Amino acid sequence: MQIPRSIELISSDERFILRPPEMEDASAIYEAVLVSKEHLMPWMDWCKPDYSIDVTVEWLRDLPVQWEEGESFQFGIFDATSDQFLGSCGINHLNQFYRLANLGYWVRSDRTSEGVATEAARRLAEFGFHDLGLERIEIVTGVENGASRRVAEKTGAHYEGVLRNRLKFGDRNIDGAMHSLIPEDF
């Protein structure tokens, strides 16, 4: 599957832009993670106490290959006016046979409660259905991650239940709340 790397998705209210992050965004991404580390660590396995700019750079290096191979489509969320990095959202764990994938998101903690994650998730789901040909998108959050569960609900995703031991964080597994979107939801 060849999806151009230059894709930009604009929020319906034109407040922010979704685009693949580039190496030039490394320091802005790193700063957003540092600002948000306390809120990210319980739910994002990649966010550890010793998170460093090197982790950001390595992630950015891997993105073009994952994109070209159709494994993962990651977008940075950028403020349309200031170009501030607001967070990230992506489609990954693609299953071509079933035409389904996972959708994940996070927003820097000093810009939450602005509807950014909800709008980004909706735009990304539209991308998944229209550009990637998906028939199902799953949003799996930690059962106790109330903020991410609310975002999933606000996107219009249907709650399907609790999946025991669905998410892995280091050496522990936690239950996941499963939400799903299908093209008819839009």
pLDDT band of residue 129 (cuts 50, 70, 90) is: very high
Looking up residue 16, the CATH number of its domain turns out to be: 3.40.630.30
Mean pLDDT of 149-167: 96
Number of domains in the chain: 1
Judged on CB neighbours under 10 Å (0-12, 13-18, 19+), 182 is: middle
4 lies in some domain:
no
Q: How far apart are CA 111 and CA 117, in angstroms?
A: 10
Threshold 0.75, pTM exceeds? yes
136 lies in some domain:
yes
111 lies in some domain:
yes
176 lies in some domain:
yes
137 lies in some domain:
yes
Mean pLDDT of 132-136: 96
Which residue range is the domain that position 128 belongs to? 9-185
162 lies in some domain:
yes
Is residue 141 scored above 70 in pLDDT? yes
